[in-house]
Structure 1
Amino acid sequence: HRSTVGALLASQLGWKFYDADDYHPEENRMKMGKGIPLNDQDRIPWLCNLHGILLREVASGQRVVLACSALKKMYRDILIRGSDGAPQTCDESSKEEKLPEVKLFVVHLSGSSEVISGRLLKRKGHFMPPDLLLSQFNTLEPPSAPENFIQVSVDQELSEIITTILEMLKVQ
């Protein structure tokens, strides 16, 4: 649903669309395929890579819609700041210069696990088994102030979801 909404939104806005799932390394896909939830170590390099893509696009003047299960605030911070958004893995206190940031506006598609699992079960050929959904719900940290976000319920027609998001983007 995330990808469907993202792709439609991008085409309405005339922006470029990226699906974060396409950028998972093979080992992450294999893990998910076996029903093993990803951990921070699995996700951080993937998110850093996505940050690099966003930064490159934005620097060239391109606006982007990214469909991504950025479940935690830390993950969204990495999309904005790259590895600077991650907990310090090594001593980086010597880095004085401010690294470029991505201006991120989060559209949080919210819905009950019942609604979302019902949709997942209908999907064919996706590498994520529905059982992994529960671990995602358990990991979820919904965006909150001061994050730049809106929350949109998925329990409505696709066209309504898109209209709501476009209206919200206008006032940004």
Structure 2
Amino acid sequence: MEAPAVLLVMGVSGSGKSTVGALLASKLGWKFYDADDYHSEENRMKMGKGIPLTDQDRIPWLCSLHNILLRGVGCFLYFGNRDVASGQHVVLACSALKKMYRDILIRGRSDVPLEVDESAKERLAGEQLLVVYLCGPFEIISRRLLQRKGHFMPPELLQSQFSILEPPSGPENFIQVSVDQSPLEMADAIMEALHTK
């Protein structure tokens, strides 16, 4: 399989997205973005108070992430050449809990202006993005969240994430990895899947 332009590492809070995403980016030599770094202060405050985000809270955040992806990969997508210096492969760690959210990450929204060439957007919507779904039961992920310190997302919001979770399915381009292993083992399993998919 030809390497995708973007690996989207998704899952509920506490599934290991940031850790696994950073490991993958390091192993692959790709650029890493953590979607949590791009939440508005309002979103962070809301989550910090234990209030789940709504679609209206998330959509501007997802549109910003879409533009970040296009800026990162747009040049080589536009020219169709992985060797163009300003184009790069990207790993994005993002909850992307609903299919609608993943669609916005890939395609953006027609009512939000693009910051890059339209043709880059069209190319990203194809096989250029691979969703890596980190999945596992509530009990395991809840235990991990309770051990995590200093994050704005409180463990009490985990149930709200499971409630809206729409795991990827066909025709989405995705692989699924169980969280019932260490982050390094998850990253190794993803690397193996990339070579065999």
Q: Which residue of 1 aligns with 2:96?
A: 70
Partner AA of 1:69 in structure 2: S
RMSD across aligned C-alpha pairs, in angstroms? 1.6
Q: 5+ residue gaps in structure 1?
A: 91-96
Q: Which residue of 2 aligns with 1:167?
A: 192
1:107 pairs with one of 104, 120, 132: 132
Higher RCO (CA 8 Å, separation ≥ 6 residues): 2
Cα distance in 2 between the residues matched to 1:136 and 1:83? 23
Q: Which residue of 2 aligns with 1:136?
A: 161
Deviation for aligned residue 1:163: 1.2
Cα distance in 2 between the residues matched to 1:43 and 1:28? 8
Q: Which residue of 1 aligns with 2:57?
A: 42
Task: Encode CA deviations 1:53-112: one digit per residue, 9 max, x unaligned.
Answer: 00000023210000000000000000100114xxxx69xxxxxx8772422210000011
DSSP 3-state at the match of 2:121: coil
Q: Which residue of 2 aligns with 1:154?
A: 179
Task: Encode CA deviations 1:98-127: one digit per residue, 9 max, x unaligned.
Answer: 772422210000011110010011111000
Cα distance in 1 between the residues matched to 2:150 and 2:120? 39
TM, length-normalised to structure 2: 0.78
Q: 5+ residue gaps in structure 2?
A: 1-15, 75-85, 113-117
Q: 1:7-18, aligned counterparts within 5 Å?
A: 7-18=22-33
Is 1:6 equivalent to 2:25 in the alignment? no
DSSP 3-state at the match of 1:105: strand
Deviation for aligned residue 1:157: 2.3
Runs of 4+ in 1 over 2 A off after TM superposition: none
Are the aligned partners of 1:81 and 1:99 in contact in 2 as well (CA < 8 Å)? no
DSSP 3-state at the match of 2:134: strand
Identity, % of aligned positions:
73
Q: Which residue of 2 aligns with 1:79?
A: 105
Q: Which residue of 2 aligns with 1:120?
A: 145
DSSP 3-state at the match of 1:83: coil
Cα distance change, pair 99–7 in 1 and its aligned pair in 2 (3 A): closer
DSSP 3-state at the match of 2:132: strand
Is 1:52 equivalent to 2:77 in the alignment? no
TM, length-normalised to structure 1: 0.89
Cα distance in 2 between the residues matched to 1:61 and 1:171? 25
Figure out how many residues of one structure are paired with residues of the other and give that number.
162
